Amino acid sequence: MKQLFRGGRRKVAAVMAIALVASLSQVAPTSAAPTAKKAGGSITVGVFNQLLSTCFSPNAANSALGIMKTVYEGWFEKTKDGKIVPYLAEAFTPSADYKSWAVKIRPGIKFHDGTTLDAAAAIANITATQGMYYLAVTAKGGNARHTLGSGIPFIANLKSVTALSTDTFRMDLWNGQVDFPETVYASGRNFVRAVSDLTNATQCVTSGKGTGPFMFKSVSPTETVVIKNPNYWRKDKAGEQLPYLDQITFKYVNQASQRVKGLQSGALDAAQFTSAGEVKQILSVQADKDLQIIDSGFTYYPMTVLNTAIEPFNNKNARLAVAYAFDAETFFQQRNCFKGKCVGQIGDSMVGSTNVMYNKKGFITYDLKKAKEYVAAYKAETGKDLVFTQPADTSAEAQASAKTVAQIMKKAGITMNILTEDTATITAKAFPTPGTGYNTYQAYPTLLFEGRDTAFVLPFLPSNTFGAPGNLTVAGLRAQAGALAAGTFQAFGALINPGRTSDKALDALVWDAWYDITSARSAKLKAVTKYYQENAYSIHQPYMGYYTGMSSKLKGWDKFFLASGGQGIAMTNAGINYTGLYLEK
């Protein structure tokens, strides 16, 4: 790879292997003439998350994220073995101290509105992700609140971004970070948008413009339609224009049983499922000879986050009581098994064994005797019985899971109440708009941790992501834009910490590990895991995976070729990659 820094002498570690990429295919066409053998057709896909906005917030969850990824793309992608490679970027290079990263943009890419992807568009996007665009517009009396989102705390280590040429930009960091491209990738959630998305709130929210293979035709929480981008920048190995499909209709189908019926009747061509409560339906699809299915593997690590800012979990005895009371085996058998067949994996750490933070030390497992002892200790200290409430959405699977947990807690003398609300309401309450408050749920079942790296683990742990040593973002904002702006960003820094921890010892461990660029980093990361686990900040549920069931006429879902010749991840929590999907003729 061509070095973008003069005198650059270090290469990123294995997890940062550099390669040119185009998802599903080679970027450059071969000499063969386009055959159009695969082009055409429309499909309907059943998803279990509502797409509430095509803009920065609220962040699209899981299967709704898959809808977004048909329209938007990011600077980086991942290979099937977890390495970060360039995508809209052509190359990326760190400085020797990992405090600067230069990114060269792949040429010839245009947004759906016809504008060019260049360094100016890149800086506009990154500035918006940081929240700086909002401040600049607000200072002039405008309103760009639609550009605010969870990317602000996620990318808090970014100090500034500068154009080096029309096709190259540099990101400078407050602290050296060896895996900064992982942070920018954000588990496939950091999208590059047309500048018109930033300047037009209506467009951004309802009909955003990206660089992807499809374009939004219509958007609603219950049904979104995307159509083929005729000017997409990729072709397949034979020189045929991607994507193959003309149109995809995504339908929100909350009940898993209805998704299965849709597949079997032909009303749905594909549908997504999760091992978290939808095992019966997954097994049904697997057993149907007229259907096919693909899975992500169990690299997603759900938990119930305990809110340490309010009762009862501001008390460590209460947290330890529910942690020891949680019978993972019973939970697994009731939620992850059907007629002796099980889907999922009981964990022995807050992350899986392929994750760099994996550590069994400090992990709390079921012990009813200890649970009752901590329940008694809590009552002796507070004079109160241990009672808490957690939300569950309206789906049968979510309700069943919550009832199972309540029954498990009852054995230890703990009362768990269930608050039934729709998914959109739960998300809005757990991650409220900055300045309007913080998560008020006592316990919040969610999926925060995932993957093999730190990018979707570490940002959720510190009390405030702007609190890292040397990070002067908030101080600088206070000087430039006044106390209100600084207060807004302080609130954003805590936005992605639904547990509302204010543990200085945990913060110190996180900063020490996150920004270590030496070989000591691995041990420091494991120390973070141990401390988090032994303080019972979350109850950790069985590892989960995602599945997509499909009609047998759908092909290409198992192919995800990169420009370097390697293969990408065929299935994630967002679903399959629809760019190379085609209908058998």
In terms of domains, do 36 and 71 share one? yes
Asked, for residue 2, whether it belongs to a domain, the answer is no
In terms of domains, do 142 and 109 share one? yes
In terms of domains, do 55 and 176 share one? yes
Asked, for residue 492, whether it belongs to a domain, the answer is no
Determine the 3-state secondary structure of 46 from DSSP: strand
Question: H or E segment at 164?
Answer: strand 158-165
Asked, for residue 431, whether it belongs to a domain, the answer is yes
Domain count, the chain: 2
DSSP letter at 443 equals E
Letter string b/e over residues 458-482, b meaning 16 or more CB atoms within 10 A of that residue's CB: bbbbbbbbbbbeebebbeebbeebe
Residue 527's pLDDT is what? 98
Cβ partners under 8 Å of residue 405, min gap 6:
304, 326, 331, 390, 416
In terms of domains, do 236 and 343 share one? no
Which structural domain range is residue 289 located in?
14-297+545-583
What are 419's two structure tokens? 């608050």
Cα angle: 378, vertex 381, 387; to 5 degrees:
35
Asked whether the whole model's pTM tops 0.85, one would answer yes
pLDDT, tens digit, for every residue of 522-533?
A: 999 999 999 999
Q: Which residues of the chain have pLDDT under 70?
A: 1-36, 480-486, 563-565
Asked, for residue 261, whether it belongs to a domain, the answer is yes
In terms of domains, do 211 and 232 share one? yes
Asked, for residue 89, whether it belongs to a domain, the answer is yes
Q: Across all residues in the chain, what is the average pLDDT?
A: 90
Cβ partners under 8 Å of residue 289, min gap 6:
none
Asked, for residue 73, whether it belongs to a domain, the answer is yes
Residue 310's pLDDT is what? 97
The CATH number of the domain holding residue 18 is 3.40.190.10
Question: H or E segment at 493?
Answer: helix 483-493
pLDDT, tens digit, for every residue of 340-386?
A: 999 999 999 999 999 999 999 999 999 999 999 999 999 999 999 99
The CATH number of the domain holding residue 517 is 3.10.105.10
Q: Which amino acid is at 256?
A: A
What Cα–Cα distance (Å) separates residue 56 from each residue in 115, 128, 227, 334, 573? 20, 9, 21, 37, 19
Q: 3-state SS of 501-564? A: CCCHHHHHHHHHHHCCCCCCHHHHHHHHHHHHHHCCCEEECCEECEEEEEECCEECCCCCECCC
In terms of domains, do 305 and 293 share one? no
Residue 33's pLDDT is what? 42
pLDDT, tens digit, for every residue of 26-85?
A: 333 333 344 557 899 999 999 999 999 999 988 888 999 999 999 999 999 999 888 999
The CB-side HSE value for 130 (13 A sphere, CA atoms) comes to 22
In terms of domains, do 259 and 340 share one? no
Letter string b/e over residues 520-557, b meaning 16 or more CB atoms within 10 A of that residue's CB: ebeebbbbbbbbbbebbbbbbbbbbbbbbbbbeebbbb
Kindly report whether the peptide bond that precedes residue 243 is cis, defined as omega within 30 degrees of 0. yes
In terms of domains, do 267 and 193 share one? yes
In terms of domains, do 244 and 290 share one? yes
Asked, for residue 7, whether it belongs to a domain, the answer is no
In terms of domains, do 282 and 429 share one? no
Q: Which amino acid is at 350?
A: M
Q: Which amino acid is at 55?
A: C
Kindly report whether the peptide bond that precedes residue 58 is cis, defined as omega within 30 degrees of 0. yes
Residue 3's pLDDT is what? 33
- If one counts every other C-beta atom within 10 angstroms of the C-beta of residue 69, the result is 25
Residue 425's pLDDT is what? 86
In terms of domains, do 535 and 549 share one? no
Strands (E), 178-299: 214-218, 223-228, 247-252, 270-274, 291-295
Asked, for residue 8, whether it belongs to a domain, the answer is no
Residue 15's pLDDT is what? 30
What is d(CA 409, CA 386) in angstroms, rounded to the nearest whole number?
10
In terms of domains, do 220 and 307 share one? no
